[in-house]
């Protein structure tokens, strides 16, 4: 018999919501910001260099985030890709690689910042004294989730599956014709990801990376 605790599922969704939203939005803003540094102002001109979530929301990506959060399994989602025009880059191949790299690096940086926030919280408000406070426990859970979710988003986007960021980074190091053929596989990328998610292979693939990164960072911070 299927056992589903709706209150627990909604609690997981609430804990994951803010760190995931920040991670997804700032990931896209980072793409646009680096693109502008490389000569392409398209994202700024289209109003995508903003922390307002509305221009970034992709309904399907939001739905997948909600479902994965409620399931308590591997959490991920996505926003609308930031528009980039490589023709305006000073060095198109190199700059596209840098733009792609900016997103995952931003998620890794956010994971570190959430970890530091967790350290600050327990340093100024000791757990032994505040563990009975519901808001305090929720905040700690959300900060910890921020570490895990942003490492998850970073590693997910580094997978070499077109059109994920990892594929654009790898394409930079391939000969021109090979890079073009490789990136043309992007039409199947979404299907590949859904199959990996549905079969549990995505969690098995990313699980060790996410857990290793999260435990490593928290260990360095003394947790």
| Other Cβ atoms within 10 Å of 117 Cβ, number | 17
Cβ-contact 96, 89 below 8 angstroms: yes
Residue pointed to by tokens 């990506």: 61
Return d(Cα 108, Cα 191) in angstroms, integer: 26
**Catalytic residue of the set 28, 36, 40, 165:** 28
Helix (H) or strand (E) holding 145: helix 134-157
Return d(Cα 146, Cα 166) in angstroms, integer: 22
Query: By 3-state DSSP, what share of the chain in percent is helix, strand and coil, each rounded to 5?
Result: 75, 0, 25
User: Is 36 annotated in the active site?
Assistant: no
Residue 22 structure tokens:
């920040």
Quick one: which of 140, 8, 147, 137 has its CA closest to 75? 147
The contacts of residue 119 (CB under 8 Å, 6+ apart) are 221, 222, 223
Residues carrying an active site annotation: 28
């Amino acid at each position: 018999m299927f056992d589903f605790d709706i209150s627990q599922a909604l609690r997981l969704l609430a804990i994951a919501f803010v760190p995931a939203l920040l991670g997804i939005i700032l990931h896209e803003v980072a793409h646009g910001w680096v693109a502008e540094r490389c000569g392409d102002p398209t994202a700024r001109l289209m109003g995508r260099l903003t922390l307002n979530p509305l221009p970034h929301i992709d309904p399907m990506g939001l739905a997948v985030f909600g479902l994965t959060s409620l399931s308590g399994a591997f959490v991920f989602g996505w926003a609308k890709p930031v528009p980039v025009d490589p023709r305006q880059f000073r060095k198109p191949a190199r700059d596209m690689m840098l733009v792609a790299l900016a997103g995952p690096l931003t998620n890794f940086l956010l994971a570190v910042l959430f970890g530091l926030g967790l350290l600050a919280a327990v340093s100024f408000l000791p757990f032994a004294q505040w563990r009975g406070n519901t808001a305090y426990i929720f905040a700690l859970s959300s900060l910890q989730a921020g570490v895990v979710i942003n490492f998850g988003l970073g590693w997910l986007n580094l997978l070499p599956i077109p059109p994920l960021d990892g594929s654009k980074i790898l394409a930079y190091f391939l000969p021109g014709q090979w890079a073009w053929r490789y990136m043309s596989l992007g039409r199947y990328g979404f299907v590949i990801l859904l199959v990996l998610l549905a079969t549990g292979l995505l969690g098995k693939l990313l699980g060790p990376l996410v857990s290793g990164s999260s435990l490593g960072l928290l260990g360095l911070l003394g947790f």
